[in-house]
């Protein structure tokens, strides 16, 4: 492999940052330790965007690796794959075409739509109108501002009550490029409001409990994926001493912070941040959950992609104290989800089901005492990855709704 590293050295050139993606997404299948080493070396030498797992450290033999490769490195990567005889396939032939092809249901209207990927400004006005037109069931509250000064707003869904009610916390859009995630939070809110009074389960849920919904967690990053770079993942914070921007909000919570599956390099996509809760968005959410700890009984966070329903722990291989209960809820929720379109989800603790990753919001909430803590990784399994077409928003949200309602019903029956 020495001639490969020679090639790599020759190719250490900086790429002009025009975000036109003439690139491919490969799925490579490392089966030998030397394959793993090769992928890690490649990642050190050129700009490779890890789609799954989330960074080079998490690559292991026997697990597929999805990577996005810039056009100028394609020849190099093909050469490396051929010489190493590593099995591989091309998942996305032309990333730019897939980016353009997301809107496969026609051009995006300026108006809000539940079956489109809405921009932040459209979501923001949707939040205002949803709250004002459903005053009997919805109130909105700001939990603070983002790094770039945008407002983080929580929608509180539930029948108004004079006494405090137990609650479920749901957030979407921790990672900017996972566009299907905020789409689900919007869908959930709409579904709750339109079926309240007719659907017995939803009515009972909102009568007895509140649901706090944060439609977009990483607002700055989400906005940036619509204006500058569709593949952005992190926040948009700046740190003195580095020209690289942002930290991974899902590595920035105070749960085994920066020990496993996270990076202390500010340029990494899984940078854990300068300190736990260094990212203002994370601090705002953590403060809200701490403040409402006595009422919050469940924490649900929505990501993509992989079709997984995960629960603690991710920062350790140790099983959670309530592992068996969490596993049975996850299995029940997955089978509810599967009942609609046959979509298969895998359930389990984060560390063993995908890979160890410290500083995640679900582990943090669980350790805080929120007993029912789950992370969804929505569709798909890599055909489109983060670039899931808009035609899949409706079926994805419909089936995910069944899983979320299953968990909510369980929590409602098992309050503590």
320/326 Cα distance (integer angstroms):
9
DSSP annotation of 291: H
Residue 236 main-chain phi, psi, to 5 deg: -120, 25
Instruction: Give Cα separations from 332 to 109, 170, 400, 402 (angstroms).
Output: 37, 19, 13, 10
Is residue 23 part of the annotated active site? The answer reads no
321/45 Cα distance (integer angstroms):
42
CB-based burial label for 99 (10 Å; 0-12, 13-18, 19+): middle
Q: Which residues contact 414 (CB under 8 A, 6 or more apart)?
A: none
218/152 Cα distance (integer angstroms):
9
Q: Which residues contact 75 (CB under 8 A, 6 or more apart)?
A: none
Q: Which of 178, 279, 377, 399 is catalytic?
A: 377
38/27 Cα distance (integer angstroms):
14
Find out whether the peptide bond into 252 is cis, omega within 30 degrees of 0: no
The encoded tokens of residue 369 equal 């005492």
Helices (H), 280-360: 280-291, 323-341, 350-353
Q: Catalytic residues, which ones?
A: 377
């Amino acid at each position: 492999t020495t001639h490969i590293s020679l090639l790599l050295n020759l190719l250490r050139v900086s790429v002009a940052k025009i975000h036109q993606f003439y690139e491919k997404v490969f799925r490579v299948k490392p089966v030998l330790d030397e394959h793993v080493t090769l992928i890690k070396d490649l990642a050190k030498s050129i700009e490779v965007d890890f789609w799954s797992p989330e960074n080079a450290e998490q690559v292991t033999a026997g697990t597929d690796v999805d990577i996005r490769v810039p056009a100028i490195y394609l020849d190099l990567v093909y050469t490396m794959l051929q010489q190493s005889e590593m099995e591989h396939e091309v998942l996305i032939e032309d990333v730019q075409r897939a980016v353009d092809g997301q809107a496969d249901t026609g051009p995006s209207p300026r108006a809000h739509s539940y079956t489109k990927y809405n921009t932040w400004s459209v979501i923001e006005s949707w939040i205002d109108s949803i709250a004002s037109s459903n005053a009997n069931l919805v109130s909105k509250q700001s939990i603070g501002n983002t790094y770039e000064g945008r407002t983080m707003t929580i929608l509180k869904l539930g029948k108004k009550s004079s006494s405090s009610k137990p609650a479920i916390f749901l957030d979407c859009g921790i990672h900017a490029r996972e566009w299907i995630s905020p789409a689900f939070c919007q869908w959930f809110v709409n579904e709750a409001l339109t079926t309240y009074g007719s659907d017995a389960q939803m009515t009972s849920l909102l009568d007895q409990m509140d649901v706090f919904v944060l439609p977009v967690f990483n607002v700055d990053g989400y906005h940036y994926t619509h204006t500058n770079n569709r593949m952005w993942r992190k926040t948009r914070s700046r740190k003195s001493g580095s020209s690289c921007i942002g930290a991974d909000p899902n590595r920035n919570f105070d749960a085994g912070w920066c020990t496993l599956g996270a990076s202390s390099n500010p340029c990494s996509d899984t940078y854990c941040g300068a300190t736990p809760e260094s990212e203002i968005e994370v601090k705002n959410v953590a403060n809200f959950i701490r403040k409402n700890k006595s009422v919050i009984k469940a924490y649900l966070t929505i990501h993509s992609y992989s079709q997984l329903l995960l629960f603690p722990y991710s920062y350790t291989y140790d099983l959670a104290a309530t592992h068996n209960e969490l596993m049975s809820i996850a299995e029940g929720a997955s089978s509810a989800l599967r009942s609609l379109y046959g979509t298969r989800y895998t359930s389990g603790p984060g560390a063993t089901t995908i890979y160890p990753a410290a500083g995640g919001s679900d582990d943090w909430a669980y350790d805080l005492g929120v007993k029912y803590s789950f992370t969804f990784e929505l569709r798909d399994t890599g055909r489109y990855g983060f670039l899931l077409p808009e035609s899949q928003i409706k079926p994805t949200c419909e089936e995910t709704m069944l899983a979320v309602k299953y968990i909510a019903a369980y929590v409602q029956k098992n309050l503590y």
